[in-house]
Chains A and B, each alone.
Chain A
Amino acid sequence: MPNKIVLVDDDPIIQYVHLRILKKYSSQSIMQFDNGSDALEYFKGSGNEALPYLVLLDINMPIMDGWDFLDEVYEQGLESKMVVIILTSSVDILDMEKAKKYDNIICFEQKPLTVDKVGAIPVLLEYLKQG
Chain B
Amino acid sequence: MESKQLEKILPLLDLAKYIGRASAVVLSGIGDKKESYCASGEILSCEDKGLLEPFLAQTLNSLNNITIKPNVQKLGSLDPGKWRQGNFAIAGYVGCPLSSFKGESLGVLSLIFDAAFESNSHLEKALLTVASQVSKVLEDCLAHEEFRLVQKELELQKEINKNIVENSRLSLWTCNLEEDILFVDAKWAAFLGYEEEELQPLTLHKWESMIHREDLEVLKGRWNDYLAGSIGNYKVSYRIRHKDGTWKWFLESGNTLKRDNKGVPVQLVGTVEDITKQKLDYLHLENALQRLTYLSKATTDAIWDLDLINETLLWNDNFFENYGHQPEEYAAAGLTLWIENIHPEDRVRVETSFDNSLLGDNENWEEEYRFRKANGEYRIVNDKAFIIRDANGKAVRMIGALCDITEKNNYLLKAKIANERFQRIVDLTKEVIYDWDIINEDVYWGSGYVKHFGHELPEKKVTLQTRINHLHPDDVHRVLNELKELLKSPDQNYFEVKYRFLKGDGTYIDIHEKASILRNDNGGPFRMVGTMRDVSEANRYLEQLKESEKKYNDLFHLSPQPSWVYDLETLRFLDVNSAAIDCYGYSLREFMNLTLADIRPEGEINPLMMEIENVRSDSERIYKGVFRHLKSNGEEFDVRIYSNPITFKGRICRQVVAFDISELTRHIKTIESQNSKFNKIAWMQSHVLRAPLVRMMGLTNLLLDPEENMEGENKFLLEEIRKSSNEIDQITREIAQITNELKTKQLNNAQ
Contact B699 A17 (CB under 8 A): yes
From B196-204, B361-369, B538-546, B683-691, give the one contacting chain A.
B683-691
CA A18 to CA B695, docked complex, whole Å: 10
The number of residues on chain A lying at the interface, defined by a beta carbon within 8 Å of a beta carbon of chain B, is 23
Contact A91 B686 (CB under 8 A): yes
CA A113 to CA B717, docked complex, whole Å: 22
What per-residue 1/0 map shows which CB atoms of A6-22 lie under 8 Å from chain B?
00000101100110110
The number of residues on chain B lying at the interface, defined by a beta carbon within 8 Å of a beta carbon of chain A, is 22
Contact B699 A89 (CB under 8 A): no
Given A17-B702, A112-B701, decide whether A93 and B744 contact each other with a Cβ distance below 8 A.
Answer: yes
Contact B698 A91 (CB under 8 A): no
Cβ of A60: which chain B residues have Cβ within 8 Å of it? 687, 691
Contact B687 A114 (CB under 8 A): no
Cβ of B718: which chain A residues have Cβ within 8 Å of it? none
From B240-248, B336-344, B639-647, B732-740, give the one contacting chain A.
B732-740
Other-chain contact of B698, A59, A95, A112 (Cβ < 8 Å) = A112
Contact A91 B690 (CB under 8 A): yes
Cβ of A13: which chain B residues have Cβ within 8 Å of it? 695, 698-699
Contact A11 B699 (CB under 8 A): no
A63: min CB distance to chain B, Å: 16
A80 at the binding interface (Cβ < 8 Å): no
A117: min CB distance to chain B, Å: 10
Given A91-B732, A92-B740, A93-B744, decide whether A17 and B690 contact each other with a Cβ distance below 8 A.
Answer: no
B616: min CB distance to chain A, Å: 43
B254: min CB distance to chain A, Å: 142
Given A13-B695, A14-B694, A94-B743, decide whether A89 and B687 contact each other with a Cβ distance below 8 A.
Answer: yes
A90 at the binding interface (Cβ < 8 Å): yes
Contact A11 B691 (CB under 8 A): yes
Cβ of A93: which chain B residues have Cβ within 8 Å of it? 736, 740, 743-744
B493: min CB distance to chain A, Å: 82
> Taking CB as reference atom, which chain B residue is nearest A93?
B740
CA A60 to CA B686, docked complex, whole Å: 10
Cβ of B691: which chain A residues have Cβ within 8 Å of it? 11, 60, 89
Contact B736 A111 (CB under 8 A): no
In chain B between 703 and 751, which residues have their CB closer than 8 angstroms to a CB of chain A?
732-733, 736, 739-740, 743-744, 747
A103 at the binding interface (Cβ < 8 Å): no
Contact B698 A14 (CB under 8 A): yes
Contact A97 B736 (CB under 8 A): no
Other-chain contact of A92, B695, B698, B701, B736 (Cβ < 8 Å) = B736
Given A20-B702, A92-B740, A97-B747, decide whether A111 and B694 contact each other with a Cβ distance below 8 A.
Answer: yes
In chain B between 38 and 61, which residues have their CB closer than 8 angstroms to a CB of chain A?
none
Cβ of A112: which chain B residues have Cβ within 8 Å of it? 694-695, 697-698, 701
Q: Considering residues A20, A92, A97, which has the most beta carbons from chain B within 10 angstroms of its beta carbon?
A: A92
Contact A111 B698 (CB under 8 A): yes
B405 at the binding interface (Cβ < 8 Å): no
CA A113 to CA B697, docked complex, whole Å: 10
What per-residue 1/0 map shows which CB atoms of A101-131 lie under 8 Å from chain B?
0000000001111100000000000000000
CA A95 to CA B736, docked complex, whole Å: 12
Q: Considering residues A21, A59, A110, A112, which has the most beta carbons from chain B within 10 angstroms of its beta carbon?
A: A112
Contact A17 B695 (CB under 8 A): yes
Cβ of B690: which chain A residues have Cβ within 8 Å of it? 89-91
List the 10 shortest-distance A-B pairs measured between CB atoms, nearest first: A112-B698, A17-B698, A93-B740, A91-B736, A89-B690, A92-B686, A111-B694, A89-B694, A60-B687, A90-B686
21 A-B residue pairs with Cβ-Cβ distance under 8 Å, sorted by A, are A11-B695, A13-B699, A21-B702, A60-B687, A90-B686, A90-B687, A90-B690, A91-B686, A91-B690, A91-B736, A91-B740, A92-B683, A92-B686, A92-B739, A92-B740, A93-B740, A93-B744, A94-B743, A94-B747, A95-B686, A112-B695
Q: State the A residues within 8 Å of B (CB).
A: 11, 13-14, 17-18, 20-21, 59-60, 88-95, 97, 110-114
- A91-B733, A92-B739, A93-B744 known, 10 other contacts, Cβ within 8 Å: A13-B698, A13-B699, A14-B695, A60-B687, A89-B687, A89-B693, A89-B694, A90-B687, A93-B736, A112-B695
